[in-house]
Amino acid sequence: MNTYDKEDSLKLLNVSGKYNNCFYNSVYLVIKDNDIFKKTTKSYNITNGTKLRKYLSENIIDRSTKNFIEYLKLAKTLLTMMNNGDTSMEIHDVASMLSVNVVELESLLNAGILDTNLESEAGIQNLLEKHLKVGSRMPSESERKMVLSYIQQAFNIIIVEIILGAKTGDDNIQDKTLDTIYKYVYKKHKIKNLSQQSIDLILLKTMKEDIKIANIINKIKERIFSKIHNLLNNIRNPTEKLKFSVFINDMRHYQVLKINKKIINNYKELIEFILPKDNFTFSQKSIRSQPIMYSKLKKK
């Protein structure tokens, strides 16, 4: 079969964003069925992103603090200026500058960032041990990088993040890519639920939407290819030993992109997906997290 004749199947898995856990809920979807993960965390009963977040904050913080140094220094500088009245910025302005939420900054303040020596490894580690266990924070880029690095090293899974739907450029223009996807998925769903007499008329109206989505799929493929190319330049592992998963991020919410019915694809499968094709399906599914029990994460 010619590559152009094959069909791409894409599904957005919309995880829960409750308690600002969409990133960790997405990561949980990727690794929950991994044999190594199940074996090493069996006694912790990790069943959702919240429990995964708590487990990771307690077990991998000692792996590397260097990713946090620049972020913590900038946060400390801005919070010190705010605390001393040297700026008109308020805490929500600082949060916006750092692409986090106010809870993240309040947690840093409560953990003692203003009095922490950030030139000291022990000082940073002590700060992070207090800070990272606080829930409802929007994780910083440094925290996300630490988690993604751990997932890669522990499970040979590379999580590729691509940004769609965020505001870009000097004019702060909103990217309409995700809006177009949502409209397309909604219209396709409506077609399935309407009488046969109505379907033909609606199909005519959705043909233009199909074309738009096809262009969007090409955009997604181009961004995945670009990210993979850059990531693999810094990875020594042979590509046949690596697995890949794709996150869609609009700078506010994470979703997992299921490609050809798989959350995780090997390198060959991902490259095959990136190749141009004429046919595709695109859908979306909401993934509910299991209820959260607010007790300390302990071994059984």
pLDDT in tens, 184-223: 888 777 776 666 557 666 766 676 677 777 788 999 999 9
Cα–Cα distance measured from residue 35 to residue 98, given in angstroms and rounded to the nearest whole number: 36
Yes or no: say if 248 and 185 are a contact pair by the CB < 8 Å rule.
no
Q: Is 197 exposed, middle or buried (0-12, 13-18, 19+ CB in 10 A)?
A: exposed
pLDDT greater than 90 at residue 274: yes
SS3 85: coil
Beta bridge partners of 287: 15
111-125 pLDDT, tens digit per residue, is: 999 999 999 999 999
In the chain, % of residues over pLDDT 90: 61
| pLDDT tens track for 132-141 | 989 899 999 9
Percent pLDDT > 70 in the chain is: 86
Longest pairwise C-alpha distance within the chain: 71
pLDDT value of position 279: 86
Q: What confidence tens digit (pLDDT) does each residue in 79-91 have? A: 999 999 999 999 9
User: Residue 182: its pLDDT value, please?
Assistant: 86
Of 196 and 51, the one with more pLDDT:
51
Token pair in block for residue 62: 């000692």
The phi and psi torsions of 254 (rounded to 5 degrees) equal -105, 140
* Cβ(290)–Cβ(47) below 8 Å: yes
Say if residue 237's pLDDT is above 60.
yes
- Helix, strand, coil share of the chain (percent; to 5): 55, 15, 30
Lowest-confidence segment of 146-150, 198-202, 243-247 by average pLDDT: 198-202
**CA nearest to 228, candidates 239, 216, 213, 241:** 239
* CA pair distance 229, 30, nearest whole angstrom: 21
* 8 A C-beta contact, residue 36 and residue 150: no
Q: Which amino acid is at 113?
A: I
Q: What six digits make up the tokens of 92?
A: 């929500």
